[in-house]
Each structure stands twice: as C-alpha cells, then as structure tokens.
Structure 1
C-alpha cells in the first residue's frame, strides 16, 4: 500500500492515521463467493440472492447505514442504502454491483467454484471478477471510512442488485420501476465493467473505462412446417427452414459501425501502440491483438453481432416435427438497433418468425466531466504508468436500467492485472479468479475516487 494512502497530512502538518481501505477486501470477496447466488435464468429456479443480500445488509448496518432490502420475487433480493457525503448540495452518485453469478459446472473447474480458495496469489471462484470483486471493494472502503468518520465527497446511493445476469428484470429494472425514489437526484452511476489494466509496455498500462455498452436483443426464432413420417419427402420441413435461417445469421458479416466511444478508444490505442488504427483499413482487429485477449471484446464492439446459441426440434428419429426453434444472442451498437432488426428480418426470411425474449437499450455517454477526471487521477495516483481511456463494452450491465432515469453510466471497477492474465476469459469462464493484490489496488483507487468524484 502506498504511504500517502495510509498517512495523509492534516492542515497542521501532522500525519493522520487512516484505516486501510483495502484491509477487508479479500475476505469480503471470499465470503461473497462462498454464497452461491447462481442465476439460471427464467427456465430454472436457483438459490437466489437472498443470503448474499443479507450478508451485505449486515456490513452496511455495521458501517452505520440503514439498508433497505427488496425482493422482486422469492429470494430474488436487492439491497439499497444511502451514504451521506461531506457536500450535501452535490448530486448523489449511484455506486452499484450485482450479487448474482452465472452457473459454474464444478467438474470443469480445477477448484470448487464456490469455495473461495486462495492459491497462486489469486482468489478463485464464480463471481471473482463478475462481479463480487467490485462489491467487496465498495464494502471494504465503506468500512474503513466508517471507522474513520470519513464520508465521501458527494452523497452515494449504494445498490447491490439481483438478476443482472439474466437481464436485470428482477433487480435494477424492477427498482427503477417500483422504487425510483431511492435513486432520486442521481445523475451519474459507476459499476462494472471497466477500470481493468491492459499492459501495452513496461511503462504504460491502459485502463479502459466503460462509457457505452451494446444493446441486447435475445430472440427466439420459430419455424413451422408440416409434420410427417421421416421416410417421406417433405418440402415443408420446419427443421430445414430453421437451420437455413440460423446458418445465414451465423455466417453474416456485419458492417463496421463505429460509435464515438469506439473511435476514442482506437485513437488512444493508436497512440499507445504507435500505429495508425484506421477503422476503414479492414485490419483493425489484427492490430488490436497486440493488446492481448481483450482484443476479442474490443473487436466485438466494431459492429452489431448475432450468434445462434440454442436449437430445439423434434422428439423421434423417424418423425418430421411440425415446429423448430432457435435462440439468438443479438447485440447492437448504440444507434444501431433499427439496422440490426431489419437485417435479422431479412436473414430469417418469410417462413421463420422471431419473438423478442429480452430487448434492452445501448446507452452511451461522453468521457468527460468531473467524474471522469476523478477516475483518471485516482488511477494515476496508484499506478503512475496508468492511463484511463474510454471504451464500448460488448455485453450489458445494470447501466441499461439506470440510464432510463437519465443517468450517465460508467464501468469503473479498477484492477491492476498481470500482463499475461486472460482477464476477458475470466468472465463467465472456467477457473474464474482475480489476483488478491489487484483487489487491494482497486479498493485503494476507489477510496481516492470517492474523495474527488
């Protein structure tokens, strides 16, 4: 830990002893990982977020806050609390993290995904980076500041939500619909996914801050045909029609569509790499590979995408079914929704219909303002070789819900990572893990950020 984070100087010149903001972060993250909050989606009931929400509410209460616990459905639990700031006239800042995690198949892992094991300098487990790490940072910083009587500069609304991994309908969206008064006055929000380091060279690390995220269009395609015996000719086969539509979607080459956030990232990456990332050259993605595995995420932001993910048809080998369905994970860039849907309709043709399973917006904001300056300075204070840059995230977050209330949403969960760690692969991946020193780094950055935000 840096000395100035431990012992700032008072107006009289004497060194003030402060509680370490990173003191509890590893243990809190470990505790959260050990609480199974698997979200299986609509088709299968899971344990819910209740136990984790009660754990979080307990820590908030110990810190002197008055948490409120809400359930959209049985055990689908979110927690909200207000943390008063030293400047009561400032607009409140929303700091949010979700409590649910995607499923983990224990047989695929080298450790128990819910044991919170520490080995090789990392904390392992489902949720270690998505996103119980940031939840733990927030709670560790809160506890340290509560011990010292140090409020943040501006009021902070803390929200720990359910159901983010299935589209936030039972979490953030539910809170916006049912309890918008809890978020009154919040003009900006900070959560996942951003603030993690990309090592360009020994003296430069980029820290992408999410300023935009792609929209979501999860769709079910349905083809209907004439059922019959599998030995007969059939020119109205639902499986054939569906398979052709799915193949067209899977093979489609989406045109490049660059948003302001992507152009800003490419400009920063061009300078850092010492190359000209011309978006019209057709060679951007190959150059981005020099940034490591994150190039997969960045590459997905250069255009709309649509990936077939599920197929369902038939019930017996010798029966041609009358219906076949497929699921498509569609993502569109900010401003690209109309083009995306028109293209999908063209690709599926006249004999296949689509229904929307989950559709949500693609928010985008500027990489400017006091909040952004606070991110930049707090990162550089802990990593002088670091530089914050904006980027568009290929996935989605609770920010989609908060943006409905007019908030500017950012992804800023700071982590200083080893250059060889496949961090992008940790999201929803096998053997998800986060370095313990990166957790501590993040807590220190967040502590500085709350003084300036």
Structure 2
C-alpha cells in the first residue's frame, strides 16, 4: 500500500475547522461474524510472507482451505506459482454470478509484506497484538487487511447462499513490495489473463485519515497513479593515478548531471482526477493553500497560486512528473581516479507521458552525451488512469455516507505505485477504494510497529462488504 496521496489529503484537510469529522475510538465485543473474520486475519498476519524469507504460497493455501470449507469447489480455487519462485505463489477464487451479460468484477490484494527485523520492533512483528485500541503486526494494514476482507467477503456470501448477478473474482498475489521479485499480479495479467478478466477491479491505496486526535477527516478513492520508472545513469573515464588529476572526472561529471536534474522542474498539469481533487480538497480548507488549490483549477498558469501550493511536497508531486536521485556508486580505490560512476534516478511520471519521453528529457537536461542513460527495468506496463465512472464512484460515495457519516470522499491520483499498474495496463480499470483510516504518522506502514485502529478494521470491513455486494448486483 502506498500512503503518499493520503498524506497529501491529510495536509489539505487538517487546517480546515469546517471539515466534517467522525469519531474513532473504542468498540464493544466482536460479533460472531467479526470473530470469524479476526481468526482469518490473524492467521494471515502471523504467516510470514516476506519475499525470500517467508511463504506467500503457504498463506494463499491457508485462505484456499477456508474458502473450500465455506463451499467453494476445486475448480473455483486456482492456486498459481512458477517453478523458479515456488514460495511466491498466489490464489484466484471465483464466485459465479447469475448474469450472462455482466462482466465479472475483480478484488485485488497482495499478501506479501515488507521485511520486519524483530530486534527493531517493540513486539514480535509476526504476532498480532492488541494494545490500547490498536492491532499491531507487520502487514496489519499493508495489505493483509484488504486481503483478509476480500477473502472473508466471499466466504460470507458463499455461506449465506448469495448469488450475485456479477461474477466476483478474487486475486491474492505476491511480489508487490519487492520490485525485482516475481510479481503475481503481473503474471496473471500477462500469462493468465482469463483468470482475472473483469469489467473493473477494486484495489488498495484508497482509505481514510484522522487528525491524530480521534477524528476521521477524509476518505479517498484512488483513481489512477503515476508511472514508476528507474533510470540508471553511468559516467565512465579512463581513470589513472590520483596524484596527477586531469580536468575530466567521472564523479564530477555525475555530480553536475545530478545537480541539473535537481534543478529541473517538470511542467504542471491536471487530469480529470487531480482537477477534481484540487477543487474539492481545496474548498474544504480555509487557508492560503486551499484557496491556491482552487485557483489552480481555474488557471494552471497562476504563478502566485502555484508558489503557495508548491510549498507542500505531496501537492507539488501530484501536479507533475518528478525525478530524484536515490542511489549512487562510484570509484574503485582511494588513490585512483574514478573509472565508473553509476546513479539511480527514480521518476514518478504523470499519466500520459512515457518512460522513453522522460528518458529523452533527462538527456536534454543533463546536456552531456558522455552520461549514458538506461532503464532500470523496462517490462512494466504504463499506468492507465481509469475514468471517474459514476456507476462505480456513486456507490462508493453513497456507502461511505452510511459507514463514515459526514466524512468527505475525494477521488485522488496516487503519486506512488500499486499492482493496479498491471491490471490497469491490461485494460481492467482499477480503483483504490475507501477503507480503513490511519493517523497522520502513517501508522508505521513500511516502518516500525505497524498498527491499525481496531474500530477502523471492523468499520471498513462492513463498508467493503456492502460495496462488493452493491457493485456485484449491477
């Protein structure tokens, strides 16, 4: 799960005393259905699925066992993996619909998690612990919450004998958190497309934010994301003895190249989603940034408004392509001139532009043909922004009003990346749906002591269950 956009939304709303708020807080004893969900959730969280350390295959098999016990047949449960990565497997489950004309819907989630070093955590990261109204564990949010909810939703519907009009497909995959690993979503999109073919997909990266003081301020719907692309820059030189240095030096060449990239500002632009976000989020504020956000939706060339908005790094990123140096390596000896220097430049490309276009732009910005530029990898599809479809956005907003009363729901574009790049790239419009809320500090996601408020878990579970039922009935 990528939280950058939710941070931007929180920044856009916290300054607004007029923003609607809903209380967080404690909840009573679990209902029987909630207790059953908790057992599934706990088992999944406590199964280590760090790539190269744990086993997604085991976690997927455990969920398949629960689905089968609920009445799913063997032909409705498809486990998958590849021989090269036997522990990175996943699961596709299918609940058949009654309609011969409605295309299926897809529930997408990843079951792998970021590594967690026990010595650095206050609690065992692979034990679900409840303390002070929060659940703690690695993956308790990212993304085992949604994985557990999707599986639980199908179990509840199967056990109740529900026959949705639209076929519901569930894809639980591995590899989202490790860019160079076998990625289950990519595999399904390219090698087993028939298993996940759908009219649309529901994914992570939507969700809510609190003010950190017990009030939920906003829920978001992710409608599109930037293109993730790494570029490998290389400077070479014959080198030689450091006692007699010539003017040309690979380290200095690379330093000048990176300095030029640092100073370069890509032009600002809107798409349908970000224009709506700036208008709605800006209107909820009562300060200079809010007014500037709204002003930019009317005139993107308003230099004064742009200067104000650009003070916030997340809003700045949502308006344009960004490129930043993230790694550098060079030289081979303390007393020798560098023969080779490499740097990684990570770009988050605004939808509508290609990696090739940005590669050419970087070359022009650097202005030194001696700096070679190559793709870090070139096998990812281009992220495609889905439409703001009222048939999908409408039910999301309506049910949010029921489960998160008074909380604004805002469509937004992620400046990060999810597995939606693969499903979206395969022609399946993919949306990050409203979900659990988190605090302004990000709740330790990808960091230490990852946590989620207990009340957020069960409120969002009810919301997501109702959302799936609603969208599967149309």
Give the TM bin, normalised by the shorter chain. Answer: 0.7 to 0.9
The aligned counterpart of 1:343 is 361
Q: Distance in 2 between matches of 1:74 and 1:134?
A: 24
Q: Distance in 2 between matches of 1:141 and 1:24?
A: 11
Answering whether residue 356 of structure 2 is matched by residue 334 of structure 1, we say: no
Residue 254 (structure 1) shift: 3.0
The aligned counterpart of 1:322 is 339
Q: 2:167 aligns with which of 155, 173, 176?
A: 155
Residue 93 (structure 1) shift: 0.3
The aligned counterpart of 1:440 is 458
The aligned counterpart of 2:127 is 115
**Aligned ranges for residues 85-234 of structure 1 at < 5 Å?**
85-167=97-179, 170-184=183-197, 186-197=198-209, 205-234=217-246
Residue 200 (structure 1) shift: 12
Q: Distance in 2 between matches of 1:22 and 1:395?
A: 32
Gaps of 5+ in 1: 1-18, 40-44, 290-294
The aligned counterpart of 2:77 is 67
| Structure 1 pair 372–436 and aligned structure 2 pair: CA distance change class (3 A) | same
The aligned counterpart of 1:431 is 449
Q: TM-score scaled to structure 2, two decimals?
A: 0.81
Q: Distance in 2 between matches of 1:137 and 1:223?
A: 49
Q: Deviations over 1:61-102 (max 9, x none)?
A: 222223211113232212111112354542100100011122
| SS of alignment partner, residue 431 of structure 1 | coil
| SS of alignment partner, residue 166 of structure 1 | coil
Q: Distance in 2 between matches of 1:212 and 1:204?
A: 23
The aligned counterpart of 1:15 is none
Gaps of 5+ in 2: 1-30, 297-301
Q: 1:239 aligns with which of 242, 248, 251?
A: 251
| Structure 1 pair 80–205 and aligned structure 2 pair: CA distance change class (3 A) | same
Q: Distance in 1 between matches of 2:186 and 2:397?
A: 30
| Structure 1 pair 195–323 and aligned structure 2 pair: CA distance change class (3 A) | same
Check conservation: 2:237, 2:339, Cα contact below 8 A: yes
Q: Distance in 2 between matches of 1:254 and 1:109?
A: 40
Aligned residues: 421
Q: Distance in 2 between matches of 1:106 and 1:250?
A: 37
Q: Distance in 1 between matches of 2:132 and 2:328?
A: 40
Higher deviation after alignment, 217-226 or 22-31 = 22-31
Higher deviation after alignment, 350-359 or 93-102 = 350-359
| Structure 1 pair 103–221 and aligned structure 2 pair: CA distance change class (3 A) | farther
Q: Distance in 1 between matches of 2:34 and 2:433?
A: 17
Q: Deviations over 1:304-328 (max 9, x none)?
A: 1112221222333112231121122
Q: Deviations over 1:113-145 (max 9, x none)?
A: 222222222222222222111111112223322
The aligned counterpart of 1:47 is 54
Residue 154 (structure 1) shift: 1.8
Q: Deviations over 1:399-425 (max 9, x none)?
A: 1111233211100151144xxx12546
Q: Distance in 1 between matches of 2:212 and 2:280?
A: 11
Q: Distance in 1 between matches of 2:137 and 2:307?
A: 31
Check conservation: 1:21, 1:444, Cα contact below 8 A: no
| Structure 1 pair 288–94 and aligned structure 2 pair: CA distance change class (3 A) | farther
| Structure 1 pair 406–23 and aligned structure 2 pair: CA distance change class (3 A) | same
Q: Distance in 1 between matches of 2:128 and 2:313?
A: 28
The aligned counterpart of 2:407 is 386
Higher deviation after alignment, 102-111 or 174-183 = 102-111
| SS of alignment partner, residue 177 of structure 2 | helix
Q: 1:267 aligns with which of 279, 283, 287?
A: 279
Residue 105 (structure 1) shift: 3.6
| SS of alignment partner, residue 116 of structure 2 | coil
Check conservation: 1:216, 1:358, Cα contact below 8 A: no
Check conservation: 1:226, 1:237, Cα contact below 8 A: no
The aligned counterpart of 1:8 is none
